[in-house]
Structure 1
Amino acid sequence: MKPSIGVLGGTGPAGSSLGLRYASLGHNVTLGSRDPERAKEFVNTLDLSALTGTLVGGDNLSAAQSEIVVVATPWDGAEATLTSVAQQVQGKIVISMANALYKHGRNMHALTLPRGSVAQHLASCVPGARIVGAFHHAPAKELGDLGSSLHSDILVCSDDSDAIASVIELVNEIPGSRGINAGNISAALAIEAMTAVLINVNIRYKTRTSLSLSGIEAGNK
């Protein structure tokens, strides 16, 4: 039985694409929002014909009842969103995919938060949750395109080694993606900042880049 997945802030591009992809892979997914009616209406606009699991809309509280929870809000709303469901996520894997970035001119820049990264900040705010940084560089459009592979390595970091293994297993379900153990949660600072570099490259070359690491043999995670 595949674990259920709840996406906090699930009506945004990244969260909805991730939720749609995993619903297509047999998971039961809830897209959460501060406005549950908005989330339900949003799901009704999606093509659900290719799903082997389920995809429903609801509030963030209902999404947090899931076995695995994803924080997909903009970075500056991540703390408030996760602390609002702190009781529901105790002991659960919580995936942080947010990047603290700001735009100046044509370029994206990375911010360093008082505790380092968004993932580290969430870990300090909700210490009972098993915070994992992942999916920071995954392109939303490709995630939501169920007819295509992702062609991307996904860096996964956490202070909980069992949670890393579980999220890597989840990542590897997506065709063309490969989960890479990037170590403890302190790595999230560099991983999140790298997103600004990739976005700037995309802007200059008018493309969508993905991360691929050489030198790691298939099956060596």
Structure 2
Amino acid sequence: MTETTSDAASDPRYRVAVIGGTGPQGKGLGYRFARGGHSVVLGSRAAEKAEAVAEEVRERLAGAPGAGEVSGASNPHAVEQCDVVLLAVPYDGHDELVASLPLAGKTVISCVNPLAFDKRGAHGRIINNGAGSAAESAQELAPEATVVGAFHNVSAVGLWDDIEFLDEDVIVVGDVVEAKGIAMNLAASVTGRVGIDGGKLRLARQLEPFTAVLISINRKYKVHSGLRITGLGEPH
């Protein structure tokens, strides 16, 4: 359910289901999308928990000009209400959850990072013997949906911060140009500029584990780091 504006081609509005919307990443992205004028349905296994977090987001949006509506629902009901679905869930249990959702015909944005942690810190998990990623798994599990990967490397702390926009870029990967365009437009609510087309969906194999590098940087320098792509000019 894409919501049109007076200039829908250049300033589209979407209705986005955020699966995992009660976690830090999902809540933060839902807040940013709504602040950017998009309608958001936060999903959770328990509708009551989703609605409680939605109320928290609504309170934070109070007074924000042009903010979109925010509500909460169970994961399946959130998906049913929207044409765009963001997967912001832990990788453990990912496949079972994705397979259970009514995703046919939806544009699905995966920001899932399959990470593991040991005494040496965070590192990427090997998916399908190195020939896969969480985003590609979602596409295989929901073949009638269109999956793109985006928002992998955005700090949950920064998303919930008071700053207007995060000083970083969102890289979007996927095999369908129109679906990538939706994620790139949504990125403007987070960074103040459209996302960057990073290539095919298989490149999620590089984007997802790169989050481990940022975690290592954050621990070393006590920051919340992000990615910036140079050389593209403004706007990109």
Q: Structure 1-normalised TM-score?
A: 0.93
Residue 220 of structure 2 aligns to a residue whose secondary structure is helix
Q: Is the 8 A contact 1:21 1:146 kept in 2?
A: no
- How far off is 1:31 after superposition? 0.4
- How far off is 1:159 after superposition? 1.1
Q: Indicate the residue corresponding to 1:54 in structure 2.
A: 69
Kindly indicate whether residue 119 of structure 2 is the aligned counterpart of residue 111 of structure 1.
no
Matched residues in 1 for 2:68 and 2:194: separation? 22
- CA shift digits 1:90-128 (9 cap, x unpaired): 121100001000111151010121151100111111111
Equivalent pairs counted in the alignment come to 218
Kindly indicate whether residue 43 of structure 2 is the aligned counterpart of residue 28 of structure 1.
no
Going from structure 1 to structure 2, the CA distance change for 1:10 and 1:26 (only over 3 Å counts) comes to: same
Q: Is the 8 A contact 1:119 1:188 kept in 2?
A: yes
Q: Is the 8 A contact 2:169 2:191 kept in 1?
A: no
1:101 partner amino acid: L
Matched residues in 2 for 1:50 and 1:127: separation? 41
Q: Indicate the residue corresponding to 2:168 in structure 1.
A: 152
Q: Is the 8 A contact 2:165 2:189 kept in 1?
A: no
- CA shift digits 1:112-145 (9 cap, x unpaired): 2115110011111111110000000011121122
Q: Which runs of 5+ in 2 are unaligned?
A: 5-12
Kindly indicate whether residue 217 of structure 2 is the aligned counterpart of residue 197 of structure 1.
no
Going from structure 1 to structure 2, the CA distance change for 1:207 and 1:156 (only over 3 Å counts) comes to: same
Matched residues in 2 for 1:196 and 1:147: separation? 24
Going from structure 1 to structure 2, the CA distance change for 1:198 and 1:70 (only over 3 Å counts) comes to: same
Kindly indicate whether residue 105 of structure 2 is the aligned counterpart of residue 94 of structure 1.
no
Aligned-pair identity (%): 34
Q: Is the 8 A contact 1:30 1:62 kept in 2?
A: no
- How far off is 1:171 after superposition? 1.0
Could you list the structure 1 runs, at least 4 aligned residues long, displaced by more than 4 angstroms after superposition: none
Matched residues in 1 for 2:73 and 2:180: separation? 27
- How far off is 1:146 after superposition? 4.6
Kindly indicate whether residue 29 of structure 2 is the aligned counterpart of residue 18 of structure 1.
yes
